Amino acid sequence: MTNIIQPQFRTGPRCYLRPLDPRTDTERCYLWMNDPEVTRWLLRHTHIPYPAEASWVADVAKERPTTHHVFALVLREHDTHIGTVGVHDIDWLDRTGTSGWVIGAKEHWRNGYGFEAVMLLLRYAFTGLNLRKINSSAFAPNVGSNRIHEKCGYHEAGRRRLQFFRDGSYHDEVIWELFAEDHARVWEAHRPQFEQPHIDCAREP
Ligand SMILES: CC(C)(COP(=O)(O)OP(=O)(O)OC[C@H]1O[C@@H](n2cnc3c(N)ncnc32)[C@H](O)[C@@H]1OP(=O)(O)O)[C@@H](O)C(=O)NCCC(=O)NCCS
């Protein structure tokens, strides 16, 4: 589809976040969410029919979402959409939410994009949405995701032992929590790279 303007909602050194767009993104999300390598350590890990994925994308893309803020993760170079990140289950009284992230384009794993995207997401959650605390979890063998939690300032709050079954055996779930002030310290340390001037705010392909 041509002539669709895609905004850059939050921009980092190499990536940006923009709203998910059902017109352009559903098919990619559908393929990613049916790739067993991508979904290996996700809660949504069985096959997902196209209508179910389409309805998920349409739902998170609704105007003025109240309980979730979900974004497409895009590389600034060539505007390549490589994944999704989001804050879910927002409670406006407690000012809490639950973070989640998926880089579906496997060829882009291990380039630092996961860390950059989560930093952008958290900055938005704390300073844009005024949340106070973000909860999260990851399967213990998901080394990359657990490392992103550590690098972004989350603290391990405990483990649910042998919580999930994958690939023939049970695995621990690592429970993470992050307070705004802990993330603010991490953000300060990385501020120079995140606050470079960004030239373009919207592009027309
Ligand atoms: C987990 C995931 C988001 C990591 O994204 P990524 O862009 O590859 O991660 P980064 O390149 O930013 O790496 C962050 C850190 O984790 C490390 N890391 C990433 N993947 C790793 C792996 N497979 N093994 C060991 N270390 C890994 C990196 O070396 C880096 O640490 P460092 O800065 O100390 O060197 C990505 O693999 C993914 O989307 N997987 C499928 C979905 C998923 O598991 N989502 C998370 C559910 S909780």
The closest of 198, 195, 187 to 123, measured between CA atoms, is 187
The closest of 27, 6, 23, 133 to 74, measured between CA atoms, is 6
The one-letter code for the residue type at 115 is F
How far is the centre of ligand 1, averaged over its atoms, from the C-alpha of 64 (Å)? Answer: 30
Distance of alpha carbon 77 from alpha carbon 74, whole angstroms = 9
Per-residue pLDDT of the chain (205 residues; tens, 9 = 90+): 557 888 999 999 999 999 999 999 999 999 999 999 999 999 988 899 999 999 999 999 887 778 999 999 999 999 999 999 999 999 999 999 999 999 999 999 999 999 999 999 999 999 999 999 999 999 999 999 999 999 999 999 999 999 999 999 999 999 999 999 999 999 999 999 998 765 554 454 4
Take atom 1 of ligand 1 and give the residue whose Cα is closest: 145
- Inter-residue contact 122 to 176 (CB < 8 Å): no
State the architecture of 6-195 in CATH terms: 3-Layer(aba) Sandwich (3.40)
DSSP 98-122: EEEEEE--GGGTTSSHHHHHHHHHH
pLDDT of residue 201: 46
Q: Is the CB of 44 under 6 A from ligand 1?
A: no
Q: Is the CB of 142 under 6 A from ligand 1?
A: yes
Q: Is the CB of 73 under 6 A from ligand 1?
A: no
pLDDT of residue 196: 74
194 backbone dihedrals φ, ψ, rounded to 5°: -85, -15
pLDDT of residue 195: 86
Q: Is the CB of 49 under 6 A from ligand 1?
A: no
Q: Angle at CA 94, nearest 5°, toward 91 and 97?
A: 45
pLDDT of residue 113: 98
pLDDT of residue 159: 98
